[in-house]
């Protein structure tokens, strides 16, 4: 008698009812007289998460998810007894992640070029220089629909075409690896994990636009990435993938490294160019665009690390293949640095069009604590927050823009109920004010003024007119700033006002911060029922704001209290309340 095996696991996040389901299964099997023919096994892990009861039929290679107690009879009668598949429970095994950019990260030794070559490395380069005209490369990219991954999402093929078209003998390509967004490390991941994939992309870019020289502009704060790129470049020279007459063609190409020195504004094209030229990294007005007048006034194409890592797979598998992934206007995949209050922080690469919910809950494993999700921030200091109501939005360039955020370079920060939106806006704006190069007035003065208003609001001095003032200054910055840093610096403020105006009003009118983040708006009180009169808070208070005696109890004097939170920390009985 051949025995069938069924595996069971309750994968709900809140409870494990596997044992109850097990009993129900045995009952149902007994009713059908199958108890001797089918073995039911409870397992501790089944490789699927947050899908309720998961039932795996070992002999049939079928997996059911989200099964409820009441369904079990039906499942035993139909699937076990008659072998019929019930569609509605069927688990369709679509891997949510799709690794194109990160294809080799963690798979190969990044310091060994042979391992990269074994994974089809430099085959795209060989194919391009032997069989493709530069125009063919650009055509292939056009088919692929690849857009720049640095933030703005400009079609890569157009950028290359414009640079190619400019009549000039000396042209340059630059890889922008000056990743400066706080809370994002996609480029670092790729440069440290698979530097050759970026180098190959840069060489192909050079071939396509007719450049003989490329630069890697890498953040000096990433010493390991710098070291790996240096090693990889040397190996590529040794193997003849760089230098004169690559693959015996007429094409010669050199790459040099230039280190960034910690200036966020250098992510902006024209500022980056100034920095490579050895100057202060201040932007200049465009046009002329770098594709016409860039590095040393020569036509220059600047591409992000992630964009370049996409090039070789597109050449090898064809633009059409790449275009089959993603949404109508946003093709391919995007790497996100998923961080914040999420269970599994890390780099994820997903096809465009996936929803935010899938990224946070299916891939990220849900929230870190039992505090509910409040919002997701994308695009770093140039982006905005997306409140939880929009979690089911498919991620692509257009959708995020519609919501008042941007795709950005790929930072994705999950925030929960403990995070104060005014505080978040202040954090991002503070970053941009710090990093503003000071060249143009709207950004230099506008940012500073907005920040002082936000400070006022969080220090309980806010007035209701401040909201309007913030919006007006923001508009001026958006319209009149010289570069993208200033134009987008107000985005975090605008988007938090858009979705969380209530919270701003709470700060201004009621002088309350519901997340207890803004310390000037928090009042500490002793909860008399819980207080054991141990006086630990009294002893630890640095300004003697707590007084009273053992009979009457202890009280915090809000006029003396400096809101340091020491009493809250030292109380062992949770008898101090924040309000």
Regarding 444 and contact with another protein (CB under 8 A), the answer is no
Task: Indicate whether 180 belongs to the interface with another protein (CB under 8 A).
Answer: yes
Q: Phi/psi of residue 246, each to 5°?
A: -65, 130
Binders of another protein among 530-559, rule CB under 8 A?
Answer: none
- Decide whether 208 or 490 has the Cβ nearer to another protein: 490
Phi, psi of 423 (to 5 degrees): -65, -40
Q: Is residue 303 a contact partner of residue 177, using CB atoms and an 8 Å limit?
A: no
Q: Does 277 bind another protein (CB under 8 A)?
A: yes
First to last CA, the chain: 68
**Can you tell me whether residue 386 is helix, strand or coil?**
strand
**Cα-based angle 74, 79, 84 (whole degrees, multiple of 5):** 115
The least CB distance from residue 110 to another protein, in Å, is 16
Q: Considering the rule CB under 8 A, would residue 346 count as an interface residue with another protein? A: yes
Identity of the residue, 180 or 332, whose beta carbon is nearer to another protein in the bound complex? 180
**Residue of the chain from 106, 262, 372, 558 that contacts another protein (CB under 8 A):** 262
Least CB distance to another protein at residue 277 (A): 4
Interaction between residue 188 and another protein (CB under 8 A): yes
Closest CB to another protein among residues 18, 496: 496
The nearest distance, CB 436 to another protein, in angstroms, is: 12
Least distance to another protein, CB of residue 317, Å? 30
Closest to 363 (Cα-Cα) out of 336, 388, 381, 328: 336
Count of residues binding another protein (CB under 8 A)?
A: 44
Partnered with residue 161 across adjacent β-strands are none
By CB under 8 A, is residue 345 in contact with another protein? yes
Which position has the token pair 């391992």? 115
Kindly tell me which residue out of 21, 64, 172, 222 binds another protein, with binding defined by CB under 8 A.
Answer: 222
3-state SS of 474-503 is HHHHHHHCCCHHHHHHCHHHHHHHHHHHHH
Q: Is 264 in the site for another protein (CB under 8 A)?
A: yes
Of 127, 410, 150, nearest to 301 by C-alpha is 150
Count other Cβ atoms within 10 Å, centred on residue 325: 17
CB-wise, 132 or 185, nearer to another protein? 185
> CB of 404: closest distance to another protein in angstroms?
18
The residues facing 253 across adjacent strands are 243
Q: Burial, 540: exposed, middle or buried (Cβ in 10 Å; 0-12, 13-18, 19+)?
A: middle
Asked whether position 267 contacts another protein by CB under 8 A, the answer is no
Q: Which region, judged by CB under 8 A, interacts with another protein, from 182-190, 232-240, 480-488, 551-559?
A: 182-190
| 161 near another protein (CB under 8 A) | no
Backbone angles phi, psi at 378, to 5 degrees: -125, 155
The answer to whether residues 174 and 276 touch, using CB atoms and an 8 Å cutoff, is yes
Interface mask toward another protein for 106-135; x: CB under 8 A: ------------------------------
Report the residue number, 181 or 200, with the smaller CB distance to another protein: 181
Residues 424-443 that bind another protein (CB under 8 A): 427-428, 431, 437
Distances (CA, A) of 458 to 140, 385, 425: 52, 19, 11
Choose, by CB under 8 A, the member of 34, 126, 152, 259 that binds another protein: 259
CA 282-177-431 angle, to 5 degrees, is 55
Which residue's entry shows tokens 């932007």?
283
Site for another protein in 367-396 (CB under 8 A): 377, 380
Which of 145, 175, 95, 186 has its CA nearest to residue 332? 145
Rounded to a whole number of angstroms, the minimum distance from the CB of residue 430 to another protein is 10
Q: Note the residues at the interface with another protein (CB under 8 A).
A: 179-185, 188, 220-222, 256, 258-264, 275-282, 296, 337, 339-341, 345-346, 377, 380, 411, 413, 415, 419, 427-428, 431, 437
């Amino acid at each position: 008698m051949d025995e069938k095996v069924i595996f069971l696991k309750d994968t709900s996040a809140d409870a494990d009812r596997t044992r109850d389901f097990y009993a129900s299964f045995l009952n149902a099997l007994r009713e059908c007289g199958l108890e001797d023919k089918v073995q039911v096994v409870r397992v501790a892990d089944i490789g699927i998460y947050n899908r309720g009861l998961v039932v795996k039929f070992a002999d049939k290679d079928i997996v059911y998810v989200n099964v409820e107690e009441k369904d079990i009879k039906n499942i035993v009668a139909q699937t076990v007894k008659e072998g019929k598949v019930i569609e509605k429970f069927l688990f369709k095994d679509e891997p949510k992640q799709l690794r194109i950019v990160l294809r080799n990260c963690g798979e190969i030794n990044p310091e060994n070029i042979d391992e990269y070559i074994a994974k089809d490395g430099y085959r795209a380069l060989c194919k391009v220089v032997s069989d493709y005209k530069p125009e063919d490369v650009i055509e292939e990219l056009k088919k692929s629909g690849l857009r720049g991954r640095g933030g703005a999402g400009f079609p890569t093929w157009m950028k290359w075409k414009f640079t190619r078209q400019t009549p000039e003998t000396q042209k340059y390509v630059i890889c922008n690896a000056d990743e400066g967004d706080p809370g994002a490390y996609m480029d670092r991941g790729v440069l440290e994990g698979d530097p050759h994939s970026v180098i190959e992309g840069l060489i192909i870019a050079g071939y396509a636009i007719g450049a003989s020289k490329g630069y890697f502009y890498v953040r000096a704060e990433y010493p390991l990435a710098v070291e790996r790129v240096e090693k990889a470049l040397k190996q590529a020279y040794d193997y003849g993938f760089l230098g004169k007459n690559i693959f015996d063609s007429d094409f010669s190409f050199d790459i040099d490294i230039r280190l960034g020195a910690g200036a966020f504004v250098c992510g902006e094209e024209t500022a980056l160019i100034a920095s490579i030229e050895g100057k202060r990294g201040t932007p200049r007005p465009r046009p002329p665009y770098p594709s016409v007048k860039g590095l040393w006034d020569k036509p220059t194409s600047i591409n992000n690390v992630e964009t370049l890592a996409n090039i070789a797979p597109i050449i090898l598998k064809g633009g059409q293949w790449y275009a089959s992934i993603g949404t109508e206007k946003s093709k391919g995949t995007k790497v996100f640095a998923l961080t914040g209050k999420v269970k599994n922080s890390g780099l994820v690469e997903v096809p465009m069009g996936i929803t935010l919910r899938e990224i946070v809950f299916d891939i990220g494993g849900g929230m870190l604590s039992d505090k509910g999700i409040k919002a997701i921030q994308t695009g770093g200091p140039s982006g905005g927050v997306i409140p939880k109501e929009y979690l089911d939005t498919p991620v692509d360039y257009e959708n995020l823009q519609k919501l008042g955020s941007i795709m950005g370079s790929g930072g994705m920060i999950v925030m929960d109920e403990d995070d104060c939106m005014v505080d978040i806006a202040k954090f991002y704006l503070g970053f941009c004010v710090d990093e503003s190069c000071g060249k143009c007035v709207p950004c230099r003065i506008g940012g500073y003024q907005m920040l002082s208003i936000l400070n006022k609001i969080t220090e309980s001095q806010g007035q209701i007119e401040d909201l309007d003032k913030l919006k007006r200054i923001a508009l001026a910055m958006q319209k009149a700033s010289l570069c993208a840093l200033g134009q987008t610096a107000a985005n975090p403020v605008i988007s938090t006002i858009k979705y969380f105006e209530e919270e701003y009003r709470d700060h201004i009118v009621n002088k309350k911060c519901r997340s207890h983040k803004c310390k000037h708006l928090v009042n500490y009180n002793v909860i008399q029922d819980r207080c054991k009169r141990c006086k630990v808070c009294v002893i630890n208070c640095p300004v003697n704001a707590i007084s009273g005696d053992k009979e009457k109890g202890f009280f915090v004097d809000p006029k003396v209290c400096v809101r340091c939170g020491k009493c809250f920390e030292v109380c062992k009985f949770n008898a101090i309340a924040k309000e």
